[in-house]
Amino acid sequence: MTERDDQDWFDTLTGKPVNGADPATVREAKALREAMLASQRREPGPEFEVEPGLQRLLFRLRRENLIGDGARRGRWRLYSGFALAASLVLAIGLLVLQPWQVEDDQARFRGGEETQVIVSAEPVQLKDALSRDLHSLNLSPQVREAQGAFVIESQWPRRPEAKHQEFLERHSLRTPVGTRLRIEIHQRPK
Q: Is residue 181 part of a domain?
A: yes
Same domain, 20 and 75: no
Q: Domain for residue 57, yes or no?
A: yes
Q: pLDDT tens across 171-182, in order?
A: 888 888 888 899
Is there a domain that residue 54 lies in?
A: yes
The interaxial angle of helices 123-136 and 162-170, nearest 10 deg, is: 170
pLDDT of residue 148 exceeding 80, the answer is yes
- Flag the least confident range among 12-21, 58-67, 143-152, 157-166: 58-67
With b for 16 or more beta-carbon neighbours within 10 A and e for fewer, the 128-139 pattern comes to eebbebbeebeb
Q: Is the pLDDT of residue 102 over 60?
A: no
User: Mean pLDDT over residues 123-138, rounded?
Assistant: 91
Q: Is residue 101 part of a domain?
A: no
Single residue among 64, 96, 128 that ends a domain in this structure: 96
Within-domain flag for 25: yes
Within this chain, do residues 135 and 183 fall inside the same structural domain, yes or no?
Answer: yes
- 172 and 119 in a single domain? The answer is yes
Q: How many domains are there within the chain?
A: 3
* Residue 105 included in any domain: no
Beta-bridged to residue 154, according to DSSP, are 181
Question: Do residue 87 and residue 136 come from a single domain?
Answer: no
Give yes or no: residues 69 and 132 share one domain: no
183 and 120 within one domain: yes
pLDDT value of residue 184: 92
Q: Are residue 73 and residue 19 in the same domain, yes or no?
A: no
Is residue 143 classed as helix, strand or coil in its secondary structure?
strand
**Which of 22-26, 62-66, 168-172 has the lowest average pLDDT?**
62-66
Residues 146 and 168 in one domain: yes
What's the mean pLDDT in 54-82? 70
User: Are 125 and 176 within one domain?
Assistant: yes
Q: Residues near 121 by Cβ (< 8 Å), separated by ≥ 6?
A: 187, 188
Q: What is the pTM of this model?
A: 0.41
Instruction: Evaluate whether residue 102 is within a structural domain.
Output: no
Q: Which domain holds residue 154?
A: 115-187
